[in-house]
Amino acid sequence: MNFCVKWLNPPPQTLVIIINFGDKDMGRTNASMTKAQYESGVATEDPLDHQRSTFSSSEQKVQEVVAKQAAMVDELQSRRRRSAAVQDVRPDLIPVSSQELLEEAYVRCGEVCAEYAKTFYLGTKLMTPERQRAIWAIYVWCRRTDELVDGPNASRITPTALDRWEDRLEDIFQGQPYDMLDAALADTVAKYPVDIQPFRDMIDGMRMDMVKSRYANFDELYLYCYDVAGTVGLMSVPVMGISSSSKATTESVYNAALALGIANQLTNILRDVGEDARRKRIYLPQDELARFGLSDEDIFAGRVTEKWRAFMRDQIKRARMFFAEAEKGVMELDKDSRWPVWASLLLYQQILDSLEANDYDNFTKRAYVGKWKKLLSLPAAYALALMPPTSSPKLLGFS
């Protein structure tokens, strides 16, 4: 996924950017990958048992959110099964005039997506109209949130402003939106089983980003990646839906969604090392840098040495393992939702290839996916999206 900065204006601040996105029965296998699994290089035979004993404190916290979100979805599904009329979303009970305003709000969210995240917007066009507009509303809220800390007004944003943004979020979930874009999200979260916690956690991640410029170890970095990106997966899947023929557990699909967010953010971080260093920020685990004989000074000096290459190879390997975890879940999604997710996964994964092609120079070169590769990824993503939940994507190299 590529981000490209532009702007949109939700009161009270400005926001900006473009996203360019860029064995069926998972059964009781939990798709999340632990730090220990990464360190050993492979998932264990029984990942679930393994995870129970090896979750780090960050993973433990995140797993509680995943379990809560999955339980919400399961609860809705069993309610639907009990109900004679199976509906995609809860019925609309709002008056016609408000309905018109709401339509307008969703149209605006769509315009923002179309303008700032073209490929992603295109991908959403395969979804049902209800789902695509709900995804747009979530997208717009995420973008506005990121813009608070990364946009043109970021220097004026205080922790209090983030507290106010969180109060606004609570109001959205109470059905009391502040502006029209909030109204679209309020409608979405009333219709789909979306939990508020991932939204709160994203704001927390932005809070953390304001005060923290170093990460002692992967556990700390994992929490940041969850907050700002893993949360996006948890927010989106309740809308995208899980295929009715999927045999995977709801929790395993949410863990795959979480993994995609983490993989994307780790990739973002590796791509932006030089840019972040110029802002005196290092989003790399300090203990791992030290293990490779590297320090902050090496990063500020931007030296591509053998030590740096070895470190980068290790970091890329970890990001790829999170992508591989994510792949296991994509085909479990509702068929109309798979294409944009595959597209985003394939496009973002190729940034890692580009880092390698740049001989790990992420100080002076920006890793990116060229236009042709991008174009070719879209039909490839489409072909992958046709895979039913029961097939095994050997094509992508995991069993």
Ligand X SMILES: CC(C)=CCC/C(C)=C/CC/C(C)=C/CC/C(C)=C/[C@@H]1[C@@H](COP(=O)(O)OP(=O)(O)O)[C@]1(C)CC/C=C(\C)CC/C=C(\C)CCC=C(C)C
358 binds, among ligand X, Mn ion, none (CB under 5 to 8 A by kind): none
Residue closest to 136 by CA, chosen among 175, 180, 99: 180
Chain centroid to CA 341: 10
CB of 240 to ligand X, least distance (A): 7
Which of 105, 257, 277, 384 is close enough to bind ligand X by CB under 6 A?
257
349 binds, among ligand X, Mn ion, none (CB under 5 to 8 A by kind): none
Distance CA 42, CA 219 (A): 18
264 binds, among ligand X, Mn ion, none (CB under 5 to 8 A by kind): ligand X
Whether the CB-CB separation of 343 and 304 falls below 8 Å is answered with: no
Task: For residue 344, state whether it binds ligand X (rule: CB under 6 A).
Answer: yes
CB of 249 to Mn ion, least distance (A): 32
CB of 349 to ligand X, least distance (A): 12
* Preceding amide of 159 cis, omega within 30: no
Task: For residue 341, state whether it binds ligand X (rule: CB under 6 A).
Answer: yes
Question: How far are the Cα atoms of 94, 170, 324 from residue 30, in angstroms, in the given order?
Answer: 39, 31, 13
Distance CA 321, CA 145 (A): 28
Whether the CB-CB separation of 322 and 252 falls below 8 Å is answered with: no
Task: For residue 233, state whether it binds ligand X (rule: CB under 6 A).
Answer: yes
Nearer CB in complex with ligand X: 96/383:
383
Nearer CB in complex with ligand X: 93/186:
186
The span of 66-74, 102-110, 126-134, 255-263 binding ligand X (CB under 6 A) equals: 255-263
Report the site for ligand X in 12-41 (rule: CB under 6 A).
19, 21
Report the site for ligand X in 110-129 (rule: CB under 6 A).
123
Task: For residue 329, state whether it binds ligand X (rule: CB under 6 A).
Answer: yes
Residues in the chain: 399
SS3 for 106? Answer: helix
Dihedral sign, Cα of residue 137, residue 142, residue 148, residue 153: negative
Q: What are phi and psi of 235, to 5 degrees?
A: -75, -35
Q: What are phi and psi of 81, to 5 degrees?
A: -60, -35
What are the helix and strand counts (H, E) for the chain?
A: 18, 2
3 binds, among ligand X, Mn ion, none (CB under 5 to 8 A by kind): ligand X
Identify the H or E element spanning 119: helix 118-124
CB of 357 to ligand X, least distance (A): 21
CB of 352 to ligand X, least distance (A): 14
CB of 364 to ligand X, least distance (A): 18
CB of 316 to Mn ion, least distance (A): 21
The span of 44-52, 67-75, 174-182, 260-268 binding ligand X (CB under 6 A) equals: 260-268
CB of 281 to Mn ion, least distance (A): 12
Distance CA 381, CA 396 (A): 12
The span of 41-49, 94-102, 141-149, 301-309 binding ligand X (CB under 6 A) equals: 141-149
Q: What are phi and psi of 178, to 5 degrees?
A: -90, -40
Identify the H or E element spanning 19: strand 19-20
> Closest CB to Mn ion belongs to which residue?
150
Calculate helix-pair angle for 159-173, 180-191, nearest 10 degrees: 50
CB of 209 to Mn ion, least distance (A): 8
Report the site for ligand X in 72-91 (rule: CB under 6 A).
none
Q: How many alpha carbons fall within 13 Å on the CB side of residue 188?
A: 33
Given the rule CB under 6 A, which residues bind ligand X? 1, 3, 19, 21, 123, 135, 138-139, 142-143, 146, 150, 228-229, 232-233, 236-237, 253, 256-257, 260-261, 264-265, 268, 326, 329-330, 333, 340-341, 344
